Structure 1
Amino acid sequence: MLTPEQLLAFLAAAVLVTVSPGPDNLMVLGVGMSRGRRRGVAFGLGCALGCLSHTALAVAGVSALLAASPLAFTLLKVAGGAYLVWLGVQALRSRGGVRVGDAGAAAPSLSGLFARGVVANAINPKVVLFFLSFLPQFVAADRGGVATQIAALGVVFTLQAALLFGLLGWFAGTVGQWLTARPRAGLWLDRLAGAIFVGLGLRLIASR
């Protein structure tokens, strides 16, 4: 299982990743603002639950690589680190243009919006790559139980995302007005997230 140090470090990074401006939280904002609090929460919970599919892929892929070849696992960590650095550079170059748009013709029912959130997250290839890059760097391979550690990290990420996305959906109207009135807030959130991504990526590469 995870050590307290692993859990706290991962949870801090996961919360920052979740609250940074991105497609998922902007969609939750849009649904909450245009469809109401309950539907915003339903969509947000669906997006969070979709993370479990990426966790399963990360468990299977990383565990298989580690069992087959330590070199392959090292290459995965280096590639993942490079991907995180790339994400960080993109965030640092961002103009911070947070836009809260219309949610579009979303399904009116709570269950429909929940399912839409699950699918929107589960089929996103960028999220798959992110999980494959993000989770392994918090794994202590020398302690064994790599698959268990990755699964636990994925569940922790899903739970905190469910809480934050649920709150975001509930307070979507207030959050949307705040971001619209303070366009530079998105810029500084992007800058902070970018610096964290670059740091995590370099750490992952160096830890090989």
Structure 2
Amino acid sequence: MTLPVDPARYGAFLATMFVMAITPGPANLFAIATGMERGKRAALVSVLGMNCGTLVWFAGSALGLGALIIAFPAAFHILALAGAAYLVWLGLKSILAGIRNAESHAKAVVRAGRSAFVDGFMVQIANPKAILFFTAVLPPFIDVKRPLAPQLLMFACATIGMDLISMSSYGLGGAALSTRMNEPGFRRGFAFLVGGLLISAAILIVSRG
């Protein structure tokens, strides 16, 4: 019986993916910020959104999106810049909230107006780590002599599994700090930190994109 992916090749892919998953990048920084700002549930929902974005990238790879990225890099550069601008906007909102409202509430309120899922999805779609992964990291592990779909399925399972663990750990770690949100001084510092994390994620998108 022939496996969809050569075991040695798949093992090398798992090692590469592990390093990429645990390395702090825009997605993991966003998970931390969401956990700190909006709690455990929102952090996990944002992780789900980011991994749905990863699924879109895998589907695009199956349809030849990698070739399109190479052929039209400017379009994806614009996409990355749009994602970075969105994160800067969220970061500035958090910083302004820290300046204006840190002392005005008796209790902290987790904001639920935005969709954590949509935010996470947008971050991952514009994530340069994802673009790099699907244009440079993944292709060498694909065996052109074997059917493409089964290979992509195995790669997708490994990628999403590791990302779920890594992103959730980052997000829940951020959420653990949210229990101190009833302290006015902590709220102010927290708002600045969340804003800084989001803007740092945007800088990573621009610098790596």
Question: Which bin holds the TM-score, normalised by the shorter protein?
Answer: 0.5 to 0.7
Q: Aligned to 1:21, what secondary structure does the other structure show?
A: coil
**TM-score scaled by length of structure 2:** 0.55
Is the Cα–Cα contact under 8 Å of residues 49 and 117 in structure 2 kept in the other structure?
yes
Say yes or no: does 1:167 pair with 2:164.
Answer: no
Segments of 5+ residues of structure 2 without an aligned counterpart are: 71-90, 98-109, 178-209
Distance of aligned partners of 1:60 and 1:28 in 2 relative to their CA distance in 1, 3 Å threshold = same
Q: CA deviation at 1:8?
A: 2.3
- 2: distance between equivalents of 1:4 and 1:13? 14
Is the Cα–Cα contact under 8 Å of residues 43 and 172 in structure 2 kept in the other structure?
yes
* Structure showing greater Rg: 2
Q: CA deviation at 1:127?
A: 2.5
The aligned residue for residue 51 of structure 2 is: 48
Distance of aligned partners of 1:133 and 1:166 in 2 relative to their CA distance in 1, 3 Å threshold = same
Is the Cα–Cα contact under 8 Å of residues 44 and 117 in structure 1 kept in the other structure?
yes
Q: Aligned to 2:115, what secondary structure does the other structure show?
A: helix
Q: Aligned to 1:156, what secondary structure does the other structure show?
A: helix
Which residue identity is paired with 1:165? M
- 2: distance between equivalents of 1:51 and 1:103? 27
Match of 1:128 among 124, 127, 131: 131
Deviations 1:73-112 (A, max 9, x none): xxx7xxxxxxxxxxxxxxxxxxxxxxxx788499616x92
Which residue identity is paired with 1:159? G
Is the Cα–Cα contact under 8 Å of residues 31 and 47 in structure 2 kept in the other structure?
yes
Is the Cα–Cα contact under 8 Å of residues 48 and 159 in structure 1 kept in the other structure?
no
Q: Aligned to 2:9, what secondary structure does the other structure show?
A: helix
- 2: distance between equivalents of 1:112 and 1:62? 27
Is the Cα–Cα contact under 8 Å of residues 34 and 171 in structure 2 kept in the other structure?
yes
Q: 4+ runs of 1 displaced by more than 6 Å? A: none
Is the Cα–Cα contact under 8 Å of residues 43 and 175 in structure 2 kept in the other structure?
no
Deviations 1:145-186 (A, max 9, x none): 1343134212321222112212221122569xxxxxxxxxxx
Which residue identity is paired with 2:26? P
Q: Aligned to 2:112, what secondary structure does the other structure show?
A: coil
Q: CA deviation at 1:17?
A: 0.6
**TM-score scaled by length of structure 1:** 0.55
Say yes or no: does 1:113 pair with 2:116.
Answer: yes
Aligned residue pairs total 139
Identity of aligned residues (%): 27
- 2: distance between equivalents of 1:170 and 1:102? 23
Distance of aligned partners of 1:37 and 1:28 in 2 relative to their CA distance in 1, 3 Å threshold = same
